[in-house]
Amino acid sequence: MGDLPIPDQRLSSASHLILRASDRDTLAEILGDKYGAALTGAGHGDLPFFAQANRVQVGGVTLHYCRYDTPVDIAFSNMAGVRQLLCLTSQGRISSDGRQAEINADSTTIVPPDSSFQASYASGYQHIVTQFDVDALRRKAEAIVGYPQPGLFAMPMLEALATSARVRSRQISLSLARMLARETHIDMPLIEMGQALSSAFLIENLAGFADRLAEEPKSASVAAVKVLEDYIQANWNRPLTVEEIAAACGVSVRSVFARFKQHRGIAPLTYVRELRLDHAHRMLLCEEEDSVISVAMTCGFSSFGHFARRYRERFGELPSTTRARRPLVANR
């Protein structure tokens, strides 16, 4: 798993903190209060006791980060939503109704909705849990392919699954967690990444979904593509997902992708990004008071490094260089 991002200290920040305990009794009390769970075993004589959990909802997804420095055993009851456990360090095991699944750097598992299970985590265990609402997942799946999805959750549950086949959802989960751990963050990219995480989860776990997504929709005229472009241009400065664009224009997500590929040669969200870069370019040349960082944030870029790299790819210079030319342009 060396090609995947690794956890860093930012994930352990106090942002969105719901649990922090340095002794067994405190952990047991908070687990019962926050999760309705029971601590059935904890501690190791040679290790200092520490446990932490952070939780936040973004873009229709609830993201949980958990850390246990000593081994713990926890009984969870009637946990809502479909959950995927992505181990960051050490290893664990989930057991329910006579079934069990190992969790480590190479294996993840999916926990079905409204289920009760026993979790056993080894010392030094950290994971990110992505929690999806069942109905929201179904609506997303139907919006993407453009027709009803019977038997939506014909996906593997409570069994060891190869993390190598779920690289996209792991990458997005880690990126989201790191963004949310900052003292300040921007809502626009967070919401879009949350929606992207739901799509990645469906593609990587729902049987046959990737094949349905690849089905070729009917071709569309240039005028039909213009409707999509007009909607994006009118809403470039707010969170946008392909599902929203499709719903607003009365087509399926597959059609949105196909139309942009046919007439633009790029993905719809690439068009969104380039449009935002164009707005950033104009702002850097024309606005007097906005700094480069302020422009990047206004245009939906949470990472200045990412913004500068994409800006240079599009315009052949750094945003600071464009900004330095502003007085020359303004005085013409």
> What pLDDT does 137 receive?
86
Look up the CATH number of the domain holding residue 293.
1.10.10.60
38 and 142, same domain (yes or no):
yes
Q: Domain check: are 169 and 282 in the same one?
A: no
Question: What's the whole-model pTM score?
Answer: 0.76
| Averaged pLDDT of the chain | 84
Answer yes or no: is pLDDT of 251 > 50: yes
- Chain centroid to CA 41: 32
List Cβ neighbours of 187 (8 Å cut-off, separation of 6 or more): 239
Do the domain assignments include residue 137?
A: yes
SS3 157: coil
What is the CB neighbour count within 10 angstroms for residue 216? Answer: 7
Q: What is the CATH number of the domain that holds 145?
A: 2.60.120.10
Q: Are 123 and 13 in the same domain?
A: yes
Q: Please give the full DSSP string across 71-99, using - where no structure is assigned.
A: -EEEEEEEE-SEEEEEEEES-EEEEETTE
Residue 249 belongs to a domain: no
User: 27 with 166, same domain?
Assistant: yes
User: Is position 213 within any domain?
Assistant: no
Helices (H), 117-186: 134-145, 167-180
Q: Is residue 101 part of a domain?
A: yes
Residue 115 lies in a domain: yes
Average pLDDT, stretch 230-255?
A: 86
pLDDT at residue 3 greater than cutoff 60 = no
Which residue do the tokens 């935002």 mark?
276
- Look at residue 29 and tell me if it is in a domain: yes
Q: CA-CA distances (angstroms) from residue 65 to 50, 156, 184, 202, 302?
A: 14, 23, 18, 21, 21
State the total domains in the chain: 2
Pairing mode, strands 125-132 and 61-68 = antiparallel
pLDDT tens digits for 259-300? Answer: 888 888 888 889 999 999 999 999 999 877 778 988 998 898
Flag whether 297 is in a domain.
yes
Q: 61-80: string of b/e by CB count within 10 Å (b at 16+)?
A: bbbbbbbbbbbbebbbeebe
Question: Domain range spanning residue 297?
Answer: 271-330
- Whether the per-residue pLDDT at 2 is higher than 50: the answer is no
- 301 or 5: which leads in pLDDT: 301
Q: Are residues 38 and 153 in the same domain?
A: yes
Domain boundary among 175, 201, 223: 175
The segment with the largest mean pLDDT, out of 188-197, 206-215, 222-231, 270-279, is: 270-279
Which of these three, 118, 141, 175, is where a domain ends? 175
Highest mean pLDDT among 128-132, 171-175, 248-252: 128-132
State mean pLDDT over 157-176: 90
Q: Is there a domain that residue 15 lies in? A: yes
Which of 123, 150, 175 is at the close of a domain?
A: 175
| pLDDT per residue as tens digits for the range 133-157 | 988 888 888 877 777 766 556 778 8
Same domain for 151 and 293?
no
Q: What is the pLDDT of residue 11?
A: 59
